[in-house]
Amino acid sequence: MFASMSGKRKILVSLVGLILLLLVYLFTWPTPIDPEAYQPPEPPSLDGPTKPNEVLKKADLALLGQIQGPEDVAIGPDGMIYAGLLDGRIIRFAYDGEGSSPEDFANTEGRPLGLAFGPEGALYVADGIKGLLKIANGNTEVLSTGANGVPFKFTDHLDVASDGSVYFSDASDQYGVGEYLYDLLEAKPHGRLLKYDPVQEKTIVLQDDLYFANGVALSDDESYLLINETYRYRVSKYWLKGPRANTMEVLIENLPGFPDNIARSSKGTFWLCLFTVRNPVMDSLHPSPFMKNIVARLPKFLWPKPKPYGFVLEIDGDGQILRSLQDSTGEHLKEITGAKDNGKHLFMGSLHNDRIGVFDLGNLEGSHWAED
């Protein structure tokens, strides 16, 4: 009997010791972040043009199960659809409404994110690991890996002007690919908006102190561009021409989700991708650096998870939300991070999914797309 009690006592002591060690770890162990307090605005209700719908469940699923992580898409001069994958490859395929097979176009040996074709037909790539790249005639050229003495950690998205200038974002100069959740928890402005001048072969910082600088899209007349700040739920307008040139203003605040990439549509509006809807757990953690440090010490599989959701907005240059395309369950399309159209179909990529969504824009009843 006494031996049995002694054994139970040892187990109890061991459990208490383990709990104490765990508490010491959670409360005192160093973390890679130095978080700031941030009070997010109350999320807007989903109504009007953002009222929940299941429009995206009508989309075709191209290359289903054949690819992984087509974060962004681009439509080439050849009419083919290009996408950058998790394994570093850039593939292309012809969409004909039926099952298509992808072919390899290039391999950056990094993580190709934003894709855009320039006026001369070259493909420009914002590679999260390698920097700003240009692919032409089978050759991959590294154009830029840093600016003002600060190397890029997370080259993210881009657009190319008619003169060949490349406008692009470095989401964070502190945290790289695979560490974006640390940037979210830290809540500090580590991102930059940049311009690559092809004549001078020089990279210029247009705006710094951005909160995870993400999607970049030029307007039709190239008088301004739009830039997303994912971790502030907003889109800003940076003026390139006119009396407000070289200034930036907030265009849309307090979005209902995390804005990722943005692209000009074939009608001059913009496709704004929301990675997912707002996360109430994350919003509740933001005011407390102490709690965010505890989360940073946890294994990442215990961190707050994004809700599976497909969400794309069409907005105009004044920040008006014209419509939304959604899949509220995320079963068909989720975590949409890139969207571009060819006037007939909207092609959608995803950071983690194994498919490219293809939506027939003629199905948007009562819109300017259905009129064509």
Residue 32 falls within a domain, yes or no?
no
Residue 347 falls within a domain, yes or no?
yes
pLDDT given at position 2: 44
pLDDT given at position 1: 47
pLDDT along the chain (372 residues), means of 10: 59 64 58 94 96 96 96 97 98 83 96 97 98 96 97 98 98 94 95 97 98 98 98 98 97 98 98 97 95 90 91 98 97 98 96 96 78 58
Query: With b meaning 16 or more CB within 10 Å and e meaning fewer, what string describes 188-208?
Result: bbbbbbbbbebeeeebeebbb
Q: What's the total number of domains in the chain?
A: 1
How far is it, in rounded angstroms, from Cα 359 to Cα 372?
15
Find residue 74's DSSP bridge partners: 82
Residue 3 falls within a domain, yes or no?
no
Residue 46 CB neighbours (<10 A): 17
pLDDT given at position 368: 75
Q: Which residue type does 334 have?
A: K
pTM as predicted = 0.92
Residue 316 falls within a domain, yes or no?
yes
Reduced to 3 states, what is the DSSP secondary structure of residue 24? helix
Residue 329 falls within a domain, yes or no?
yes
Range of the domain at 117: 54-363
How far is it, in rounded angstroms, from Cα 168 to Cα 173?
14
Q: C-alpha angle with apex 169: 165 to 174, nearest 5 degrees?
A: 140
Residue 199 falls within a domain, yes or no?
yes
Stated as kind and residue range, the H or E segment containing 290 is helix 289-297
Q: What pLDDT digit, counting tens, does each position of 19-70 carry?
A: 655 555 555 667 889 999 999 999 999 999 999 999 999 999 999 999 999 9
CATH number of domain containing 157? 2.120.10.30
Residue 39 falls within a domain, yes or no?
no
> What are the tokens at 291?
């709690």
Residue 24 falls within a domain, yes or no?
no
pLDDT given at position 99: 60
Residue whose C-alpha is closest to residue 112's, from 163, 154, 54: 154
The count of C-alpha atoms lying within 13 angstroms of the C-alpha of 366, restricted to the half-sphere facing its C-beta, is 3
Using CA atoms, how far residue 219 sits from 114, 239, 253, 266, 270, in Å, is: 17, 10, 19, 11, 9
pLDDT given at position 332: 97
Please say whether the beta carbons of 112 and 90 come within 8 A. Answer: yes
How far is it, in rounded angstroms, from Cα 195 to Cα 167?
4
pLDDT given at position 365: 72
* Longest Cα–Cα distance in the chain: 89
Please say whether the beta carbons of 193 and 204 come within 8 A. Answer: no
Provide CB contacts within 8 A for 290, sequence distance 6+.
none
